[in-house]
Amino acid sequence: MTIPLLTLSHQQPFWKFRTHRVIANTTESTRNLCKSTLYLFLALATPFIAYRCFNSFTMFWSSSSSSSQPATKIDAGSLRRQRINSSKLYQPDASSKVPVIYSSYYDISFLGIEKLHPFDSSKWGRICRFLMSEGYLEKKSIVDPLEASREDLLVVHTEAYLNSLNNSVNVARITEVPPVAMLPNWLVQMKVLYPFRRQVGGTVLAAKLAMDRGWAINVGGGFHHCSGGRGGGFCAYADISLCIHFAFVRLNISRVMIIDLDAHQGNGHEMDFGNDERVYILDMYNPGIYPFDMTARNYINQKVEVVTGTATVDYLDQLDKALAVAGSNFAPELIVYNAGTDILDGDPLGGLKNCPFNDGPGEWRAA
């Protein structure tokens, strides 16, 4: 046994040389693999790093600017009015256009992930394309809204809530699409939250156009499950609450009625205006589906609960009676009508059985 060992010992220089070659080749392969991995990481991470750096610089600049100003304490009401008055959301010129608001940025689409939720996040574009194909609307006559900025959103939302949206896990919970949690937040901001913020701008602008022209439609928006401090049910921003607060300040009104005909209870705006006598809430909803928010139900001025399976005739009869009562109870200067399509028969979420029907020659009604 010792002789072979001695023999191997005599061949040691040769084995060292071969071992060094193997190690050298392995090291070169490993180095190339590491370089490829590094390049891939940089390609994926660079936009995220740039986005985070931009946010950090913006926050630093904001804090530096504010610290250079004399320290003055501003109450919440004054700060809200200041933000509203400095906002640009009322700026789009619609004088030569129909008061229908839409942007192609409304539609949410990314690698099919949006299809994991039954909510149709591309319906807004299809609605406008249908109206244009039928000759009811021209593309050039549609009003294109601005994106709601962080300062705009702070009119209603808390800093803590807006900061929470920088975590993709929180956005995944709000949109109820779990894979969103695994996406880098810069991508979530671009593909999910930016379209939402654009729709918020549309809802805010709709109030101004309605006061100017008598009516206005924001094809998107209606995020009635979101309040100032909490999102949910595919609603990340409280556009209805923002719209009303802007109207109070910029349009000089003091009485707003919310008519919420989405099949789900509008618990977001109910929590925001629960103790505000300037806002009257008529909410017609199915109590057997999400969100089951009993606290928010206490803040509804007039609730009409329609059970699963309610059909068109019964639905419209209850609605007619409710509108008559609301009109006698409250005299609004502005009405915010949240028109949820989930009350229609076949919707996977609403549980109701409404469909258009003919009342008589030449007269159509739709629930």
Judgement on whether residues 242 and 100 belong to the same structural domain of the protein: yes
Q: What is the pLDDT of residue 170?
A: 98
Question: Is the Cβ–Cβ distance between 273 and 116 less than 8 Å?
Answer: no
166 located within any domain: yes
45 located within any domain: no
7 located within any domain: no
Extract the tokens encoding 176.
Answer: 């109820």
Where in the sequence is the domain holding 202, given as residue range(s)?
Answer: 75-253
The H helix count followed by the E strand count for the chain is 13, 8
Judgement on whether residues 339 and 355 belong to the same structural domain of the protein: yes
Compute φ and ψ for 230, nearest 5 degrees.
-155, 135
CATH of the domain at 240: 3.40.800.20
What is the mean predicted confidence (pLDDT) over 160-169?
98
Judgement on whether residues 113 and 223 belong to the same structural domain of the protein: yes
Last residue of a domain, one of 196, 230, 253: 253
Cα separation, 11 vs 287, whole angstroms: 86
Cα separation, 170 vs 161, whole angstroms: 10
pLDDT over 70 percentage in the chain: 74
Cα separation, 200 vs 206, whole angstroms: 10
DSSP characters over 11-35? THHHHHHHHHHHHHHHHHHHHHHHH
Q: What is the pLDDT of residue 16?
A: 45
Q: How many separate domains does the chain show?
A: 2
pLDDT beyond 80 at 246: yes
321 located within any domain: yes
pLDDT confidence band for 318 (50 / 70 / 90)? very high
Judgement on whether residues 244 and 270 belong to the same structural domain of the protein: no
Last residue of a domain, one of 199, 227, 253: 253
pLDDT over 90 percentage in the chain: 65
Judgement on whether residues 260 and 314 belong to the same structural domain of the protein: yes
Question: Is the Cβ–Cβ distance between 174 and 227 less than 8 Å?
Answer: no
335 located within any domain: yes
Cα separation, 247 vs 254, whole angstroms: 8
Judgement on whether residues 161 and 231 belong to the same structural domain of the protein: yes
Judgement on whether residues 239 and 293 belong to the same structural domain of the protein: no
What is the mean predicted confidence (pLDDT) over 72-93?
91
Q: What is the pLDDT of residue 122?
A: 78
15 located within any domain: no
Judgement on whether residues 245 and 298 belong to the same structural domain of the protein: no
Extract the tokens encoding 230.
Answer: 């909490």
pLDDT beyond 50 at 5: no
Judgement on whether residues 319 and 224 belong to the same structural domain of the protein: no
pLDDT confidence band for 60 (50 / 70 / 90)? very low
Q: What is the pLDDT of residue 303?
A: 97
102 vs 49, higher pLDDT = 102
Q: What is the pLDDT of residue 28?
A: 56
Judgement on whether residues 233 and 264 belong to the same structural domain of the protein: no
DSSP characters over 250-313? HS----EEEEE-SSS--HHHHHHTTT-TTEEEEEEE-TTSTT--HHHHTT-SEEEE--TT-BHH
Mean pLDDT score of the chain: 82
Helix (H) or strand (E) holding 235: none
What is the mean predicted confidence (pLDDT) over 344-348?
87
pLDDT confidence band for 117 (50 / 70 / 90)? low
Judgement on whether residues 113 and 262 belong to the same structural domain of the protein: no
Q: What pTM was estimated for this model as a whole?
A: 0.78
356 vs 242, higher pLDDT = 242
Cα separation, 5 vs 23, whole angstroms: 23
2 located within any domain: no
Residue 79 is which amino acid?
L
**Which has the minimum average pLDDT: 78-87, 115-124, 215-224?**
115-124
Q: What is the pLDDT of residue 119?
A: 61
pLDDT tens-digit map of 277-314: 999 999 999 999 999 999 999 999 999 999 999 999 99
Q: Give whichever of 41-50, 60-69, 75-84, 115-124 has the largest mean pLDDT.
A: 75-84
257 vs 118, higher pLDDT = 257
Q: What is the pLDDT of residue 114?
A: 57
Residue 241 is which amino acid?
S
In DSSP terms, 14 is beta-bridged to none
Is 225 one of the catalytic residues?
yes
Cα separation, 287 vs 33, whole angstroms: 58
Instruction: Give the up-direction half-sphere exposure of residue 331: CA atoms within 13 A in the CB hemisphere.
Output: 0
Last residue of a domain, one of 230, 253, 276: 253
322 located within any domain: yes
Cα separation, 268 vs 231, whole angstroms: 8
pLDDT confidence band for 29 (50 / 70 / 90)? low
Judgement on whether residues 222 and 314 belong to the same structural domain of the protein: no
pLDDT tens-digit map of 119-163: 667 788 888 999 999 999 999 999 999 999 999 999 999 999 999
Instruction: Give the up-direction half-sphere exposure of residue 206: CA atoms within 13 A in the CB hemisphere.
Output: 28
Catalytic pick from 20, 117, 224, 225? 225
